[in-house]
Copies of this chain bind each other. A is one copy, B any other.
Amino acid sequence: MDKENIIEWFEQGSVSIPKLLMNHYAQLGLNEIEFMTLMHIHAALEGGNSFPTPVELSSKMSISSTACMETLRSLIQRGFLTIEQHHDQSSMITETYSLKPLWEKLIYFMMKETQHKTAETQQQ
């Protein structure tokens, strides 16, 4: 192992996951495979790859690309993930994943939690 490798490892950087999401994904109805699929998409998006394939995603996971495809389909169907279509300069259509619905669900959940707590406090 030489210095060159360690620099490369450092350069790769980190993925930041809000604690709010870490603490509540299960309550949103996500299991660990679904959550990690979304986090791999999150990392890909941040790294400039806006439409990672099931093969790419599953290469970093413990599931097959077929299982990954199934997971993606389910996440889209259940409103955690969307595919956005963009027209680029040459009027080709490009597709990108968006995690906006995930943040939306999280914030909606937190709002309900807060209202619930407020209601409880007022009843006491």
Does A93 touch B at the CB level, under 8 Å? no
Q: Interface residues of A: mostly helix, strand, loop or mixed?
A: helix
Count of chain A residues with a beta carbon within 8 Å of a chain B beta carbon = 48
* Cβ A18 vs Cβ B14 within 8 A: yes
Known contacts A13-B19, A17-B14, A107-B7; decide if A32 and B36 are in contact (CB<8 Å): yes
**Min CB gap A82→B, angstroms:** 13
Does A12 touch B at the CB level, under 8 Å? yes
* Cβ A7 vs Cβ B60 within 8 A: no
Which residue from B5, B15, B48 sits with its C-beta under 8 Å from A110? B5
Does A72 touch B at the CB level, under 8 Å? no
**Min CB gap A31→B, angstroms:** 4
